[in-house]
């Protein structure tokens, strides 16, 4: 039978000749009168068995693509591990599972993640002796045969497996786990049966009845895990990097607040996945005065952290030298920023609370708390949100002067303002992350912050720690991680 040439593709004429289209199925008998000795198939159609195999391959590839795509949508290490367990349960026909994360490089973290298992149930599983647990033998594998380490661990019927520890069978009966299947998860390397130092942990799935995955299920799971392991490894590195950055952030901020007579301080600091350029400080100045500072540096990453540390260190030095003049403090800070980070901007606010003997003046009318009097707080702001004063009889924003952030003008300067803080009132300083975390426009965010302070009971207003907790809990959505860093500093006089 003659065949035509293959069609041209993109203007290229193939040099190969066509393949004959006649097919002789091996299962057909020559004596079959309906088929004859030779079955002509001019259309090139596959037999039924070929169609079934092709349909099976397409189904498997589609399933693996969907599961891998779903895994790619996870953003954190915990989300990736939970998705891996859920996908494995779908492929194996299991209902529950757990992942014991212990990277073989020894850098951590170690974590136990469950799918369909509560924290209490995971705790029960951890009481199983290591030599009988369904995963520890794969964490530190022993050769099952000379030169061949174990690559899976199957318990078809836990209740009747006398080789298992009695505690293993007892816990499995309590949790309703009749069988288990465990495999190591590792980032593969081109050579060797197992990667050296590439193991991430062990995944275990549990069946409600005695069972074991068949060859097709194990093959599909293996293909999925080879793709999933790299994604989990990437999320592991990201989690480690975030932990390192968080540690650096903490080192750049004061570890403790000063203890001064007549002042109680509290701070709340919530990390976000983004910027990391917020800073705050509370300084004990000569003669019992107090310096309060807060600010935000634009940008993100290690360079922003370095710039933030430099600004905070410079602000502390300038506050000690000329803290009585907040405008001079911010002017010096602006000069430092222009010299060291000419392409960067920052917002900052510095307040100088005069010593009690100098700044305390009589207040007409009944005292707000304990004894009468006010304490003067002089504030200068460089593009930072205004402080919120919260007392027994008032909740209002301070009228700070409108000014540009540091680094935006050739020479920054703005007038300072004086606040008279009555005894028992609290001054709240906060970063813009608190406002953006509401998800509302700026005007609505300010209104939400003010309303949260209004709703604080008198006992909460009298305690800066309780007030800070109330503000964060009321203003920010409790079920969401903040989109960026949030700092709230409360000073009650």
Per-residue pLDDT of the chain (493 residues; tens, 9 = 90+): 444 444 443 443 444 343 343 333 444 444 444 344 444 554 555 566 666 777 777 878 888 888 988 998 988 999 999 999 999 999 999 999 999 999 988 888 888 999 999 999 998 888 888 877 767 777 764 444 333 345 788 999 999 988 889 999 999 999 999 999 999 998 865 544 443 448 899 999 999 999 999 999 999 999 999 889 999 999 999 888 878 777 777 766 777 888 888 899 999 988 766 556 888 999 999 888 999 999 999 887 778 888 888 888 899 999 999 889 999 999 999 989 988 888 899 999 999 998 876 544 554 444 433 344 688 999 999 999 999 999 988 999 998 877 888 888 766 677 889 999 999 999 999 999 899 888 889 899 999 999 999 999 999 999 999 999 999 999 987 655 666 788 999 999 9
**Neighbour count for residue 325 (Cβ, 10 Å):** 17
Give all strands of the β-sheet with 199-207 in edge-to-edge order. 111-115, 96-101, 199-207, 179-186, 153-155
Q: Are 336 and 380 in contact (CB under 8 A)?
A: no
Distance of CA 107 to the CA centre of its chain: 18
The span from the CA of 289 to the CA of 271, in Å, is 30
Token representation of residue 356: 């009690």
Whole-angstrom Cα distance, residue 211 to residue 410?
Answer: 75
Helices (H), 176-260: 215-252
Residue spans per domain, the chain = 61-245, 256-492
For the chain, state the CA radius of gyration: 34
In 73-213, alpha helices (H): 77-92, 119-126, 136-139, 166-175
Structure-block tokens of residue 28: 């057909």
Question: Strand 388-390 and strand 395-397: pairing?
Answer: antiparallel
pLDDT at residue 258, as a whole number: 85
Q: Is 376 exposed, middle or buried (0-12, 13-18, 19+ CB in 10 A)?
A: middle
CATH architecture, domain 256-492:
4-Layer Sandwich (3.60)
Which residues, listed in sequence order, are joined to residue 268 by a DSSP beta bridge? 488
Question: How high is the pLDDT of residue 333?
Answer: 92
- What distance in Å separates the CA atoms of residue 25 and residue 106, rounded to the nearest whole number? 57
**CATH code at 61-245:** 3.30.450.40
Strand partners, 350: 293, 380
Q: How far apart are CA 385 and CA 374, in angstroms?
A: 23
In which residue are the tokens 């907040």 written?
326
- The pLDDT score that the predictor gives to residue 292 is 95
* Confidence (pLDDT) at 474: 92
Separation CA 354–CA 432 (nearest Å): 26
Rounded distance, CA 214 to CA 219, Å?
9
Q: Nearest 5°: CA angle at 167, between 151 and 121? A: 80
Counting beta carbons within 10 angstroms of the beta carbon of residue 308, is it exposed (0 to 12), middle (13 to 18) or buried (19 or more)? Answer: buried
């Amino acid at each position: 039978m003659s065949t035509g040439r293959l069609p041209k593709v993109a203007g290229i004429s193939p040099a190969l000749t066509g393949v004959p289209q006649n097919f002789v199925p091996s299962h057909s008998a020559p004596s079959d009168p309906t088929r004859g000795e030779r079955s002509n198939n001019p259309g090139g159609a596959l037999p039924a068995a070929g169609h079934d195999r092709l349909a099976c391959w397409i189904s498997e590839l589609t399933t693996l693509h969907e599961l891998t795509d779903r895994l790619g949508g996870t953003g954190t290490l915990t989300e990736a591990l939970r998705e891996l367990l859920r996908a494995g349960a779908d492929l194996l026909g299991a209902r529950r599972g757990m992942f014991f994360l212990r990277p073989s490089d020894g850098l951590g973290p170690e974590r136990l993640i469950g799918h369909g298992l509560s924290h209490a149930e995971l705790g029960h599983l951890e009481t199983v002796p290591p030599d009988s647990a369904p995963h520890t033998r794969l964490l530190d594998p022993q050769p099952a045969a000379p030169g061949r380490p174990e690559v899976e661990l199957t318990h078809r019927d836990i209740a009747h497996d006398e080789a298992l520890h009695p505690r293993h069978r007892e816990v499995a009966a309590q949790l309703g786990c009749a069988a288990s299947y465990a495999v190591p998860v590792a980032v593969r390397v081109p050579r060797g049966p197992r990667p050296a130092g590439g193991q991430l942990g062990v995944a275990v799935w549990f069946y409600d009845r005695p069972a074991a995955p068949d060859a097709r299920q194990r093959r599909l799971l293996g293909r999925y895990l080879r793709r999933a392991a790299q994604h989990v490894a990437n999320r592991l590195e990201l989690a480690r990097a975030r932990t390192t950055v968080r540690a650096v952030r903490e080192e750049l901020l004061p570890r403790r607040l000063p203890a001064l007579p007549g002042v109680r301080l509290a701070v709340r600091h919530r990390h976000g996945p983004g910027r990391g350029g917020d800073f705050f400080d509370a300084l004990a100045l000569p003669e019992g005065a107090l310096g309060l500072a807060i600010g935000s540096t634009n940008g993100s990453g290690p360079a922003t952290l370095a710039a933030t540390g430099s600004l905070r260190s410079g602000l502390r030095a300038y506050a000690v030298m000329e803290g009585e003049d907040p405008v001079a403090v911010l002017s010096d800070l602006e000069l430092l920023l222009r010299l060291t980070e000419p392409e960067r901007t920052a917002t900052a606010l510095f307040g100088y609370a005069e010593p009690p003997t100098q700044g305390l003046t009589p207040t007409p009318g009944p005292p707000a708390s304990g004894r009468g009097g006010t304490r003067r707080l002089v504030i200068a702001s460089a593009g930072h949100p205004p402080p919120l004063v919260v007392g027994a009889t008032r909740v209002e924003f301070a009228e700070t002067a409108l000014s540009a952030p540091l680094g935006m003008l050739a020479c920054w300067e703005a007038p300072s303002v004086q606040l008279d803080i009555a005894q028992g009132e609290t001054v709240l300083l906060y970063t813009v992350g608190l406002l953006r975390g509401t998800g509302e426009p700026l005007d609505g965010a300010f209104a939400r912050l003010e309303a949260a302070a209004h709703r604080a009971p008198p006992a909460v207003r009298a305690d800066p720690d309780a007030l800070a907790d109330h503000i964060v809990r009321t203003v920010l959505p409790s079920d969401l991680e903040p989109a960026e860093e949030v700092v709230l500093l409360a000073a009650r006089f």
